[in-house]
């Protein structure tokens, strides 16, 4: 309603001095007003200075390195949880299909093993039927390994007392048959990152350190990583977290920044989706929902399979421990298979989706004194065939977190089963430490999967059987971890082009509470170090 031009301005009336104000009162009022103005100006100045300082703070660039399944992407999720919680939560629902896929993959892996002990399938040569846990290897010393492949692909021996599985097991296995198709459908919807297929072949631990290799000889798969896979789920139309306009804006920004750098295009949070993903979105949506429905209808049978003592004994005889493998959710099968299931924070952290190429995560610190600061985290695919893509990211970074899973001292690389996994980590670490381009980059080592190391040693696996140099030291997790750490430290000291401080942490990055503290320490350390070098400059 328009104000009557004749009536007085209500604001002017409200702040007008009292009509019967004495000269003394007037003086006091003016003093108060002047003081208020000064405080207000000081606050404005403070805000201006803070904004200016924020602008000056450059983006912190962090690169995560390590072999496949070392825990790099899980570490990124911990950064997101700590500093970009809202963004983490916005992605949460899209992880449902990944958790479902992880669940059915565990079941199908168990079924593979069970089928192989049935007399009529005992000689199956199905490569999928290989036990999950590789056999123990012997390593002569930390950097001097002569692997033989005699016990590679050992065939499970059928129980000599006859097949332990009865008719009800067979019926259960048949009823779970539809989960094969569910796995295929989910893998198709989520793309290449959702499969664990790796190119086998020898390959080098660190291709950039091999003579004759030229940095341009690589290709980066930009659409098939974590973000690509989640992007597909989003593209399926059920989950519209961002408007298409926002996506388009981000895509344009990404293209502009790529044009300024010689780096290949990393898949970023901006979900570079293929148009095919949009076209197929509806079909994918239906497949994901149909998969969820089949999973819900199989919940009781999945639970029965996992809790069956005979099945447990068959798995144990075959050396298969799915509960120690990636993306294991069978302890929570009823909750996850239920209709209306939404992943929890913990589910997202534990969900396994391998990284293809290099993925860029922009984390804008949401709260605290550093709100508004930006972290750029590059998460790389760790399989040997994907390491070619790392080198261009070595330029212009503030720090590297290198993840070495120390539970795998007796395991082999999936992509080259002649190579011991701990050995591969040590070779990779050596290559990173000795790379001249990284001479002044802060390296932080996460000796990861300490929880699994503890479990492995508790069930009687002896370190010395795979690492003879371990000698007569007690077979205890703390001592083993300390020993492994000393190997990495020794490499850092001997192979760094210029002396560097050795920073290391014993971690289990699926433990988000403990990792939160580690991540905070690392973040502060990186920032402080950066500040220090800025002062020296």
Ligand X SMILES: Nc1nc2c(ncn2[C@@H]2O[C@H](COP(=O)(O)OP(=O)(O)OP(=O)(O)O)[C@@H](O)[C@H]2O)c(=O)[nH]1
CA 76 remoteness from chain centre? 5
- The interface region with Mg ion, picked from 159-167, 353-361, 396-404, 474-482 by CB under 5 A, is 353-361
Closest CA to 428 of 204, 262, 271, 154: 204
* 414 contact choice in Mg ion, ligand X, none (CB below 5 to 8 Å, kind-dependent): none
What residues have CB less than 8 Å from 343, skipping those under 6 apart? 92, 93, 95, 96, 99, 351
Question: How crowded is residue 225: how many other Cβ atoms within 10 Å of its Cβ?
Answer: 29
HEC profile of 24-59: HHHHHHHHHHHHHHHHHHHHHHHHHHHHHHHHHCCC
Answer yes or no: are the C-beta atoms of 383 and 198 closer than 8 Å: yes
* 387 contact choice in ligand X, Mg ion, none (CB below 5 to 8 Å, kind-dependent): none
The Cα–Cα gap between 199 and 417 comes to: 11
Among 70, 273, 355, 448, binds Mg ion (CB under 5 A): 355
Nearer to ligand X, 193 or 235 (CB): 193
Q: How far is the CB of 355 from Mg ion (least distance, A)?
A: 3
* 442 contact choice in Mg ion, ligand X, none (CB below 5 to 8 Å, kind-dependent): none
Q: Tell me if 450 is assigned to a ligand binding site.
A: yes
Nearer to Mg ion, 267 or 427 (CB): 267
Specify the DSSP class assigned to residue 181. H
Name the token pair of 362. 């922009």
Nearer to ligand X, 425 or 496 (CB): 425
Q: How far is the CB of 101 from Mg ion (least distance, A)?
A: 15
Nearer to ligand X, 183 or 496 (CB): 183
Q: How far is the CB of 386 from ligand X (least distance, A)?
A: 7
Q: Which residues bind ligand X (CB under 6 A)?
A: 66, 68-74, 326-327, 350, 352, 354-355, 381-383, 448-449, 451-452, 508-510
Q: How far is the CB of 93 from ligand X (least distance, A)?
A: 19
Nearer to ligand X, 281 or 326 (CB): 326
Answer yes or no: are the C-beta atoms of 183 and 111 closer than 8 Å: no
Q: How far is the CB of 404 from ligand X (least distance, A)?
A: 10
Closest CA to 117 of 165, 149, 174: 165
The Cα–Cα gap between 368 and 390 comes to: 32
Q: Tell me if 144 is assigned to a ligand binding site.
A: no
Nearer to ligand X, 226 or 341 (CB): 226
The Cα–Cα gap between 3 and 427 comes to: 79
- β-sheet bridge partners, residue 446: 403, 505
* 509 contact choice in ligand X, Mg ion, none (CB below 5 to 8 Å, kind-dependent): ligand X
* 417 contact choice in Mg ion, ligand X, none (CB below 5 to 8 Å, kind-dependent): none
Q: How far is the CB of 403 from ligand X (least distance, A)?
A: 6
Nearer to ligand X, 165 or 380 (CB): 380
Nearer to ligand X, 192 or 296 (CB): 192
Name the token pair of 459. 């069930």
The Cα–Cα gap between 16 and 27 comes to: 14
* 71 contact choice in ligand X, Mg ion, none (CB below 5 to 8 Å, kind-dependent): ligand X
Q: How far is the CB of 354 from ligand X (least distance, A)?
A: 4
* 318 contact choice in Mg ion, ligand X, none (CB below 5 to 8 Å, kind-dependent): none
Nearer to ligand X, 117 or 363 (CB): 363
Answer yes or no: are the C-beta atoms of 459 and 417 closer than 8 Å: no
* 295 contact choice in Mg ion, ligand X, none (CB below 5 to 8 Å, kind-dependent): none
Q: Tell me if 355 is assigned to a ligand binding site.
A: yes
- β-sheet bridge partners, residue 363: 375
Sign of the alpha-carbon torsion through 412, 416, 417, 419:
negative
Nearer to ligand X, 81 or 314 (CB): 81
Among 60, 69, 71, 73, binds Mg ion (CB under 5 A): 73
Q: How far is the CB of 150 from ligand X (least distance, A)?
A: 27
Between residue 179 and residue 208, which ones bind Mg ion under the rule CB under 5 A?
none
Answer yes or no: are the C-beta atoms of 445 and 439 closer than 8 Å: no
Exposure on the CB side of residue 122, measured as CA atoms within 13 A = 12
Nearer to ligand X, 71 or 281 (CB): 71
Q: How far is the CB of 72 from Mg ion (least distance, A)?
A: 5
Between residue 33 and residue 72, which ones bind Mg ion under the rule CB under 5 A?
72
Q: Which residue's entry shows tokens 């985290």?
A: 377
Q: How far is the CB of 70 from ligand X (least distance, A)?
A: 4
What residues have CB less than 8 Å from 410, skipping those under 6 apart? 134, 135, 136, 137, 420, 456, 461, 465, 466
Closest CA to 142 of 493, 472, 469: 469
Task: Count the residues in the chain.
Answer: 537
N-to-C CA span, the chain: 63
Q: How far is the CB of 511 from Mg ion (least distance, A)?
A: 18
Between residue 261 and residue 320, which ones bind Mg ion under the rule CB under 5 A?
none
Question: How much helix, strand and coil, in percent to the nearest 5, is found in the chain?
Answer: 55, 10, 40
**Torsion angle defined by CA atoms of residues 521, 522, 528 and 530, in that order, rounded to the nearest 10 degrees:** -170
Q: Following DSSP, what letter does each residue of 188-225 receive, concatenated?
A: HHH-GGGS-----S---S-GGGSTT--TT------SSS
Annotated binding site for GTP: 448-451
Annotated binding site: 355, 448-451
Chain contacts with Mg ion (rule: CB under 5 A): 72-73, 355
Annotated binding site for Mg(2+): 355
């Amino acid at each position: 309603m328009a104000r009557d031009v004749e009536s007085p301005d209500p604001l002017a009336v409200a702040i007008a001095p009292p009509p019967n104000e004495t000269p003394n009162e007037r003086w006091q009022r003016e003093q108060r007003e002047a003081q208020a103005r000064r405080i207000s100006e000081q606050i404005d100045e403070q805000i201006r200075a803070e904004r200016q300082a924020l602008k000056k703070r450059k983006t912190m660039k962090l690169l995560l390195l390590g072999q496949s399944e070392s825990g790099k992407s899980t570490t990124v999720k911990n950064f997101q949880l700590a500093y970009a919680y809202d963004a983490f939560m916005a992605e949460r629902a899209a992880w449902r299909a990944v958790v479902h896929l992880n669940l059915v993959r565990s079941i199908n892996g168990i079924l593979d093993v069970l089928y192989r002990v049935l007399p009529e399938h005992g000689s199956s040569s199905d490569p999928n039927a290989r036990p999950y846990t590789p056999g123990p290897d012997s390593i002569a010393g930390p950097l001097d390994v002569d692997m033989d492949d005699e016990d590679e692909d050992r065939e499970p021996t059928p129980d000599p007392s006859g097949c332990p599985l009865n008719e009800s097991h067979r019926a259960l296995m048949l009823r779970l048959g539809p989960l094969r198709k569910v796995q295929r459908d989910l893998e198709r919807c989520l793309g290449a990152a959702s499969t664990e297929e790796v190119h086998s072949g020898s390959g080098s631990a660190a291709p950039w350190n091999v003579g004759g290799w030229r940095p341009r000889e690589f290709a980066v798969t930009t659409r098939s990583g974590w973000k690509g896979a989640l992007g597909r789920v989003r593209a399926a139309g059920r989950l519209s977290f961002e408007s298409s306009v926002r996506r388009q804006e981000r895509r344009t920004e990404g293209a502009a920044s790529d044009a300024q750098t010689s780096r290949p295009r990393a898949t970023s949070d901006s979900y570079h989706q293929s148009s095919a993903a949009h076209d197929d979105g509806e079909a994918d949506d239906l497949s994901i929902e149909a998969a969820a429905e089949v999973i819900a209808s199989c919940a009781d049978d999945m639970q029965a399979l996992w809790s069956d003592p005979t099945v447990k004994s068959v798995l144990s005889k075959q050396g298969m421990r799915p509960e120690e493998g990636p993306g294991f959710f069978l302890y929570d099968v009823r909750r996850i298979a239920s209709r209306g299931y939404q992943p929890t924070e913990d589910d997202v952290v534990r969900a396994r989706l391998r990284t293809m190429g290099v993925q860029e995560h922009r984390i804008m610190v949401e709260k605290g004194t550093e709100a508004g600061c930006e972290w750029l985290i590059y998460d790389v695919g760790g399989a040997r065939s994907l390491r070619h893509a790392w080198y261009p990211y070595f330029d212009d970074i503030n720090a590297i977190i290198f993840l070495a899973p120390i539970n795998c001292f007796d395991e082999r690389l999936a992509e080259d089963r002649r190579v011991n996994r701990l050995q591969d980590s040590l070779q990779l670490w050596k290559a990173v430490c000795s790379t001249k381009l990284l001479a002044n980059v802060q390296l932080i080592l996460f000796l990861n999967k300490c929880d699994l190391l503890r479990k492995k040693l508790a069930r009687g696996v002896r370190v010395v059987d795979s690492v003879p140099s371990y000698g007569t030291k007690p077979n205890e997790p703390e001592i083993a971890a300390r020993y492994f750490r000393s190997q990495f430290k020794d490499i850092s000291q001997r192979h760094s082009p210029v002396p560097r401080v050795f920073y290391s942490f014993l971690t289990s990055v699926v433990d988000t509470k403990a990792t939160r503290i580690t991540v905070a320490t690392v973040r502060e350390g990186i920032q402080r170090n950066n500040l220090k070098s800025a002062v020296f400059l």
